[in-house]
Each structure stands twice: as C-alpha cells, then as structure tokens.
Chains A and B, each alone.
Chain A
Amino acid sequence: MKQVWSVIRREYVERVKTRAFILSTLGMPLLMIGIMAVFGLVAFLSEQSERQIVLVDQSGQLGERVRQALDEAGYDVELAAPGTAAEELDQQVLDDELEAYILLDDATASEAVFHYRAKEPPGSVRSQLIRSAIVEEVVDMRLGQIEDGESVRRLFEGGSLEYEPVGLDEAEAEEAEAERISGMITGIAGGLILYIMMLAYGAQTLQSVLEEKQSRVVELVISSLRPWQLMLGKIVGVGAVGLTQVAIWIGCVALLAGLALPGLISAAPDLEELGQVRQYLPGPGAILLLLVFFLLGYFLYSSLFAAVGAMCKNLQEAGQAQTPLIIVIIVPFMMQMMTFQGNNMPWMNWVALFPFFSPIMMYPRAVMGDVPAWMVALSIVLMAVTVWGAAWVAGRIYKVGILSQGNRPNLRELLRWIREA
C-alpha cells in the first residue's frame, strides 16, 4: 500500500504545481465576480451617457409633475415651451441636434401611454426608468382626482401576505427565514460545485489514465502495483486536487465573511446591512454533507472515466467514448436547474434517488429541506453501493484496457473483458 501512496502523491503534486490548477483555482471566483461586474457596469454606463431629455406636454396638466419626477430620477429635463410643434423637434432629431424627446398627450393623462421619439429605441435601463417615473405620476394624478384614492393605490400595489408564525416569536421566525435563504444559496452553489467537479476532475482522471497508457509508462508501473491499486491511487490523487480547490474556495468565502466583512463594516458603518450576508452562509453540517456527496459522486464518475480512458487509444477516441458519461452528468444538472427555478415536482425527489443523479439532485434538496432525512440517507446508501459496483466493473475494464493496444472494444468485447479480467 506504500506504493499506492506514492502514486497518490505523484498525481497530486504534479497537478497542483501546474499553471492550469492555479489559474482555475483563482480564476473561477474572479470570473464570477468579473461577469457580474461587467453586466452591471455596461447597463449603468450606457444610461449614464445620455441623460438629457426634452419634454413636450400636449396634455396641459402633466408637464411640470413629470419634469420633477424625471429630474429626481437623475435626468436633465428641459420642458419645451407650450405650443412647441412636434415637427420642429422631429427635425432636430433628424439633424442629430437632439437624441430623443418625450411627447405627453391626452392619452398619457388617461392611460399613461406616452411617446418616445428618437431614431433608435431606448435602452432597457432608460425605458424602465422613464416609464416608471411617468406611470407613477399619472397614477398619482388620477387617484388624486377620486375619492378614496389612497386605498385604491394600495390595492394596485398588490396587497400583501402577512405571514404570522404560530408558536414562533419574531426572532425565531427571522431565523427560519434566514435558514431558508441559506439553504437556497448553499443548494445552488453546492450543486454547481458538484457538477463542475465531477465533470472537470472526472475528465482529468481519464486524461491521466490515457497518458500513462499512450506513453506505455503503465507497463512499467504495473510491475510494482496491481492495476486496481494504480487506478485507486490515480482517482484519489486527482480527487485530492479537486478537494483542495473546493477547500480553497470555501476557505476564501469563510475568510471574507469572518474577517474582511467585519473589518469593512467597522470601517464604513454605512455598509452594515452587508453583515446580514453572514447568516446566509452554510453551516458545518451542510459543508460536511457536501463532502460526502462529493466523495461518493466523484468516486462513482471518476472510476468510470478511468475505465473509459483505459479502453481508448487516444484523446479523440476518448472524446467520443465519454459522451454517455457526460450526458449522465448533464441531465441531472438540467433537472436541478428547473428545480431552482421553482418547478419542483414531487416525482423529481424520487428521480434524485437514482445514484448517478444523486450528487447533483439530492444535495441541494437536502440542504434546502425539500426532502425528508430518510431519503437523503437512502440516497447515500444507494450511492455507496453503486460506487462499489462501478469500481468493480471499472477496475476490470481498466486492468485489461491499459495493456491492450487494439481498437476500442465494442459492448460484447467489453463484457468479455469484465468477465475474464
């Protein structure tokens, strides 16, 4: 077993040292933050640049109100002199002297329909801002003209569901709500991490097996190790790299929440609300469960990926051969996305029991409290049994495959390998 340890260490050290590992470890969080920042920035900047607006009021009653509202929304508004002809402004737009103007007429006063006249349609942020400012003014004006306007307004605002927890005081209720949100965040992040890890590190196991087979190093190594020991060493070594990566990510979040955030808040008390983020972070139980699902899911898939690598001659062949495995990872991810979007159906909880789908589908359900504890326990047992079976089959394919230089076996040959190994 000392030799297995050497294989694990080689696999781990050689991978952690690579630029690819360092880049992907640092890159993932940076990429996520970057994408969000860019989206926000683009929308913000595109609105910032065009904030001058000319307002033409033909309704005779809205002009000043709307000017004020748009002014508050941050626009530089010029109310055109009464009687200004729309044609005149159209000409200015055509001559590029004016980018756009807003025309308020009788329809605006009655139904909040107004006209935005320009050569190009407004951006999404702009149309949203202008529309809400104008609609609000129209509604205000109309409600002011009727009796009982205030309650009608509240009605329009959609009423409200006032949750009154029975048997819980307010503090407890708040805690329960925080737990729900925390479960949601943990579930989504955990599901995503499991998905990425199983795909990425499964593929790395395959690559590692294939490299040794192609370079024939494996023929040297198996004079000192049994094939299953070598396979185990590889899987554990690559998996340890994956765990290291996840641990670094989780560690970063913990560091941010535990040290950076309190520091930030004490320096800038305005940001106190940010402190609430901390109550949504997963507890040790959820992280431990993530570890269990990661280990089982990763072992399940990487042993099969190892078998695929052992069957193939080169990367192209392996690319084809691994397709079924990748589909089996992607399908539960798609189903889980539907669940996240609120389309959970009770039968999906049963689908989540299917061992190949469990890591991605059962873990989020477990931390979000969608399934009873016995189902989670059952899925762990089922996965453990499946891992054992898959490792047995994969070990046999691996044993024959790494020394075979022939073509990829078809299903019948594969069964023969499994039987005879």
Chain B
Amino acid sequence: MTQNGTAVRLTGVCKTFGAHTAVDDLDLAIEPGTIYGLLGPNGSGKTTTIRMMMGILLPDGGSVELFGGAPDFGRRSRVGYLPEERGVYEKMKVLDQLVFFGEIRGLARSLARARAEKWLERLGLTEWASKKVQTLSKGMQQKVQFISTVLHDPELLILDEPFSGLDPINQDVLEEIVLEEKERGKTILFSTHLMEQAERLCERVCLISRARKVLDDDLKELKRRERTGVVAVEFDGEAPRIAWPEVLEVEQVGDAFHLSLDDGVRPEEILGAVLAEGVSLRRFELLEPRLHEIFVRHAGDPGDDDSVQPAGGAS
C-alpha cells in the first residue's frame, strides 16, 4: 500500500482539563510506513494526545491533522484504534462482536467473519469464539479488541498501551504482528511506558513528560547522538594496566572494563592503544545508552513522574 504525505501531524497542540495541563504545545509528525513510539510515564499526556488524534477530544489550541486533514469521520475510519481503556460489548459473543466491528468499518459480513476467524486462530482464541466477552480474562479481552482494531486492514494503527496486561508470550506475538504490519507498509503509532518495548520496535520515538515533549527523534540517530563515550573492553587472559591519558575513568563490570573516554577522543585511538599492549581482545564495544537512560537524562526517572525536573530545562 502506498501512502503519501504525513500520516499524523500535530502542531502546537494544547489541552487542559480545568487547572491541569495535559498536553502543552506539542508538535509531532508521523511519516507513513514507520513505527513511531510515544513514550512517557503514566499521566504524562500520551492518552490525551492519542484521543485528540482520533477526534475524541478537541485540542484547546494548535491543530491536529490525520492524513493531511482534520480527524473527521472519513479519515478516522482509515485508522485502527486500540484505546487504553478497553471498550468491548461485554455481553456479546466474541465472534459476533468482531463481525459487528468489521461491518461498521465497511467490511461485508462474510468477509468480516472470515477475517475474524483467521485472527482468532492466530491469537489462539478459536475455542472462545462463541463465548461471551465477559467470560474472557482481561488479557484475552485485550486480544479480542486488538483483532477488532486490525480487522478492516487500516493503513494506520494507533495503539494506546497495547502491551500492558499481556503475558510475555502474547507480548511477543503482538510485537511480531506489529512488525509484520510495518512490513506490509502500514504506519504504526503506539504509546507505552515500557522503554524496552519501544527500543525493540520503534524507528522513531517521542518522549513526553509532564505534558511537554522532551525528545522527538529517529531512534538510531538519537542513540548515536546520546552516546556517552563509554567503551566496554574484555580480554582473554590477564588484563593490561589501563592508564592512558585519554581514559578518564575505569569501572570494572564483571569481566568487562567500562572506559569513559575524554571528550573528542575517538574509540579507534583506544582500540589502537589496547592492541599495542599485545593482549588478546575478546570484546570491544562502543556502549550505546539504553532508551531508559536517555529518558532519565532528559526528564528524570520515567518510573516516577513526581521526580521529573521541569522539562523546559531539557535540551
């Protein structure tokens, strides 16, 4: 499927609820065919942002564009939206519910049924097809809802905390599906407070904290830029004495030594120096920061929003 133009664009978007500012002057753009992560601690404004993209909330200021226009009825139907607070008809049977959602999204009844059955099988829910939704566990209900999100094969998936509440096995299945959809040319936006998930999946991330954007960048680019100049080295046999002027600090982590390099020192220079010692080298790696560390560096600990410093102070 080919897509032209930006899938989602937010420009200077603000939203307040009474005295509480939920989203403050947010700009972001999601290019088609990418996986975009909206990251931030609980209560940082992720869900509010997503609800504005879906036209459920109207921004107090700024503009929200979906496929280059207002998030109106026609454009919303091109999106598969998985809300954070799961909404299901509890008393309906699983398959009936999926067929209904497929139908109102424009699928013929028979097609909706066929696709729903295929998805149920893939997610291991076939035997639950004729059970009422309320008899399913929370995790299973979430899978049912995910199916209703993708059933009409939308070009953009907006998933609000899609992994929370799933066991590791189902998280893996979901990750696999997300990657597959991307391969098929779909655009995927998901929000999460789990940095590891984002790190594995996203091409681009937007970090928000306390209603404000902290970072918004290509993930690889971000990691390169955020490199701290630490090199991990491991040796076979005895380690040499590490005392080069370029190395500011040495920390032993298990068998490895983490060398903090002085500003402007290139890793190759150290590699040369190490090899010159004549030892046998097992590992030499330029350490990349975890997304978690980057986030903490810019906005404080994402696990605890109260400790977050004013985001305006971040670069």
Contact B103 A6, beta carbon cutoff 8 Å: yes
Contact B88 A223, beta carbon cutoff 8 Å: no
Give the contacting residue for B88; candidates A3, A6, A215; CB below 8 A: A215
Contact B56 A403, beta carbon cutoff 8 Å: yes
Contact B104 A6, beta carbon cutoff 8 Å: yes
Cβ–Cβ < 8 Å partners of B83 in chain A:
216, 219-220
- How many B residues face the partner with a CB closer than 8 A? 27
Contact B81 A217, beta carbon cutoff 8 Å: no
Contact code string A83-108 (vs B, CB < 8 Å = 1, else 0): 00000000000000000000000000
B106 CB within 8 Å of chain A: yes
In the bound complex, how far is the Cα of B89 from the Cα of A218, in angstroms?
Answer: 10
Cβ–Cβ < 8 Å partners of B90 in chain A:
215
Contact B87 A217, beta carbon cutoff 8 Å: yes
A226 CB within 8 Å of chain B: yes
Given contacts A14-B91, A217-B87, contact A6 B56 (CB under 8 A): no
In the bound complex, how far is the Cα of B241 from the Cα of A58, in angstroms?
Answer: 140
Cβ–Cβ < 8 Å partners of B57 in chain A:
403
Contact A3 B106, beta carbon cutoff 8 Å: yes
Q: Which of B194-214 contact A (CB under 8 A)?
A: none
Give the contacting residue for B81; candidates A7, A218, A223, A225; CB below 8 A: A223
B260 CB within 8 Å of chain A: no
Contact A225 B104, beta carbon cutoff 8 Å: yes
Secondary structure of the A contact surface, majority rule = helix
B100 CB within 8 Å of chain A: yes
Secondary structure of the B contact surface, majority rule = loop
Contact code string B58-97 (vs A, CB < 8 Å = 1, else 0): 0000000000000001001101010101111111100010
- How many A residues face the partner with a CB closer than 8 A? 19
Q: Which of chain A's residues has its CB closest to B57's CB?
A: A403
Nearest chain B CB to A216 CB, angstrom units:
4
Contact A217 B56, beta carbon cutoff 8 Å: no
Cβ–Cβ < 8 Å partners of B86 in chain A:
216
In the bound complex, how far is the Cα of B104 from the Cα of A326, in angstroms?
Answer: 33
B105 CB within 8 Å of chain A: yes
Q: Which of chain A's residues has its CB closest to B101's CB?
A: A220
Contact B92 A14, beta carbon cutoff 8 Å: yes
A244 CB within 8 Å of chain B: no
Cβ–Cβ < 8 Å partners of A132 in chain B:
none
Chain A interface (Cβ within 8 Å of chain B)?
A: 2-3, 6-7, 10, 14, 215-226, 403
Chain B interface (Cβ within 8 Å of chain A)?
A: 51, 54-57, 73, 76-77, 79, 81, 83, 85-92, 96, 100-101, 103-106, 148
State the 10 A-B residue pairs at the shortest beta-carbon distance, nearest first: A223-B76, A216-B87, A217-B87, A6-B103, A224-B104, A3-B104, A215-B87, A224-B105, A10-B100, A6-B104
Q: List 19 A–B pairs whose Cβ atoms lie within 8 Å, in order of A's numbering.
A: A2-B106, A3-B103, A3-B104, A3-B106, A6-B104, A10-B100, A215-B88, A215-B89, A216-B83, A217-B88, A219-B81, A220-B83, A220-B148, A222-B73, A223-B55, A224-B76, A224-B77, A225-B73, A403-B57
